[in-house]
Structures are given as C-alpha cells and as structure tokens.
Structure 1
Amino acid sequence: MDVVAKIVVGLVALIHGYILVLEMFLWRTPRARRAFGTTPEFAEQTAVLAANQGLYNGFLAAGLVFGLVAGGGVGYPVTVFFLACVIVAGLYGGATASRRIIVVQALPAAVALVLTVLAH
C-alpha cells in the first residue's frame, strides 16, 4: 500500500482504538458522556452495553492493524475487508444513532478504502 493510504488506515485504526477506550473504560466519565451526549444516569444503565460495543470497535482496530502489519497479498484483502466493515458500521450507526457517526467513522474509512484500492 502507498504510504498515504497506510497512514489513513492507521488513523482509522486509532479512531477505533480510542472509541474502544471510551466505551469500555471511560463510559461513565464526563469525557465519554460529552463525546456521546449521555447523562450520568444513562451511562450507568448502559455501561455493559457500551463495553460490548467497545470490544467490537477494538476488533475493527485490530483487523486494520493486522492488515497493515501483514502487508502484501494477505494484508491488502484484510485491510479492505475491515475498512468495509467500518464503513457499514458507520453508516448503520449514522442511520440509527447519530449522523455524526458517519463523519467520525464511515467517512475516514471510505477515504482510507479509496486510497488503499488506488495504491494497490
């Protein structure tokens, strides 16, 4: 993959790593509540669900990192697959939870996917 594509894929992985931390470990904190627009009561009631979501975001990040590290014939299809997963998750989240998710998740992944395909 081209260096620019790798950097953007890495940024998408970092975004999902950060979301993992917010959802799994910081869900009840003011920082996470501000990021997700939740109240302390809602955060308390949904902490287990958020941690589960965080784990899935971590899997997306791990897949992208694996694709970058593996490189070559293995890394390219893995990277494309996980970017497509991020795009689908971002579009679904944008349609069901908040349109902001499209900008935060789906758009960077779409840019990374285009750059990755063009660099291949």
Structure 2
Amino acid sequence: MSLIAKLLVALVAAIHVFILVVEMFLWNTPFGHRSFNLTPDFAAQTVVLAANQGLYNGFLAAGLIWSLIAPKHLAFALKVFFLGCVFVAGLYGAATAKTSILFVQALPAALALGAVFLSRERA
C-alpha cells in the first residue's frame, strides 16, 4: 500500500475523530455552534441526537484505523468497506443536510479510495 494511500486513509479517519469530538462533546458549546451553524436553542434540543451521530462517526474512524493496522490479507477489504461507507454517508449528508458535507466527507473518502485502488498490490 502506498504511503499516499495510507496518509489519505489516516486523514479520513482523523476527520471522523474530529467530527466525533464535536458532535459528542462540543455540540452545545460556542465552537460546536460555529462548526455546524447552530443556534444555542437548536443545539440544546438536539444534543442527544448529535452524540449518537458522533458515535457513528467514531465507528467509521475506528474501522479506518483498524484497516491501517490490520494484517495485509484484511487491510484492502477493510479500507474499501469503510471508505465506501464514508463516501455514501457523505453523499447522503450532502443531498439531505448540507452541501459542504460533499467536500468535507465524500471527497476525501473518494480520493482515499482511489489511492487505495491505485496502490493495490497484485497477487
């Protein structure tokens, strides 16, 4: 696996760890409000929902981190699966919630997925 592919996978994982932190712990703070363009009232009403979303983003990050340390025979499939999940979630989020999700979530996942495929070692 090329260094570029690994770095892009790590970047996507880091993005999702950041999202986890904001959604689970900082949602109802000024930083969380600015990050997601929330009113304090809306943030207070949705704090539990945001924490749930953050947990799911954490699962995506965990899967991507796992793919970076997994044995070679599992690593490619794990990367493709978790990057695919991130990409689909990004497309859905961009279509239903906020267009910028396309650039923050789907595009990095697509770039990482492309790099993973391009650097795939042939048997």
Q: TM-score range by the shorter chain?
A: over 0.9
Residues 19-58 of structure 1 mapped to structure 2, 5 A cutoff: 19-58=19-58
Residue of structure 1 equivalent to 2:76: 76
Q: Which runs of 4+ in 1 moved over 2 A?
A: none
Residue of structure 2 equivalent to 1:90: 90
Residue of structure 1 equivalent to 2:3: 3
Between stretches 71-80 and 81-90, larger displacement belongs to 71-80
Can you list the C-alpha shifts for 1:62-107, whole angstroms capped at 9, x where unaligned? 0000001114110110011000000000000000000000000000
Residue 105 of structure 2 corresponds to residue 105 of structure 1:
yes
3-state SS of paired residue (1:75): helix
Counterpart CA distance in 2 for 1:33 and 1:76 is: 37
Counterpart CA distance in 2 for 1:5 and 1:12 is: 11
Counterpart CA distance in 2 for 1:36 and 1:16 is: 14
In structure 1, list runs of 5 or more residues that go unmatched: none
TM-score, normalising length: structure 2: 0.96
Give the RMSD, CA atoms, in angstroms: 0.6
TM-score, normalising length: structure 1: 0.99
Residue 84 of structure 2 corresponds to residue 119 of structure 1:
no
Counterpart CA distance in 2 for 1:16 and 1:69 is: 17
In structure 2, list runs of 5 or more residues that go unmatched: none
> Which residue identity lines up with residue 79 of structure 2 in the other structure?
T
Counterpart CA distance in 1 for 2:106 and 2:65 is: 17
Going from structure 1 to structure 2, the CA distance change for 1:71 and 1:2 (only over 3 Å counts) comes to farther
Counterpart CA distance in 2 for 1:37 and 1:81 is: 31
Can you list the C-alpha shifts for 1:16-72, whole angstroms capped at 9, x where unaligned? 000000000000011111110100000000000000000000000000000011141
Counterpart CA distance in 1 for 2:94 and 2:9 is: 20
Residue of structure 2 equivalent to 1:17: 17
